[in-house]
Amino acid sequence: MLFANHLIIVRGGGDLGTGVVYRLFKTGFPVLVLELPDPLVVRREVALASAVLEGEIQIEDMTGRLADDVPEALSLIDQGIIPVLISADLEPVIAALPLPPTAVIDGRIAKRNIDTRIDQAPLVIGLGPGFSAGQDCHAVVETKRGHTLGRVIWQGSAIPNTGTPGIVAGKGAERVLRAPQDGLVQWQAAIGDQVLSGEVMGDVNGAAVKAPFDGVVRGLIAPGTAVSKGYKIGDVDARADREACFTISDKALAIGGGVLEAVLTHLNAESVI
3-state SS track over 115-168: CCCCCCCCEEEEECCCCCECCCECEEECCCCCCCCCCEECCECCCCCCCCCCCE
Write down the pTM of the prediction: 0.94
One-letter amino acid for residue 211 of the chain: A
List, in order, residues 6 or more apart from 86 with CB less than 8 Å away.
Answer: 34, 35, 36, 37, 52, 66
Question: In order of start, what are the domains of the chain with their CATH numbers?
Answer: 8-162+250-270 (3.40.50), 173-238 (2.40.50.100)
Q: How far apart are CA 247 and CA 227, in angstroms?
A: 26
- Find out whether 46 and 72 touch, Cβ atoms under 8 Å: no
Contact (Cβ atoms closer than 8 angstroms) between residue 152 and residue 261: yes
The span from the CA of 147 to the CA of 241, in Å, is 24
Taking only the tens of pLDDT, the chain with its 273 residues reads 689 999 999 999 999 999 999 999 999 999 999 999 999 999 999 999 999 999 999 999 999 999 999 999 999 999 999 999 999 999 999 999 999 999 999 999 999 999 999 999 999 999 999 999 999 999 999 999 999 999 999 999 999 987 777 667 676 678 899 999 999 999 999 999 999 999 999 999 999 999 999 999 999 999 999 999 999 999 999 988 999 999 999 999 999 999 999 999 999 998 755
Burial of 64 (C-beta count, 10 Å sphere; 0-12/13-18/19+): buried
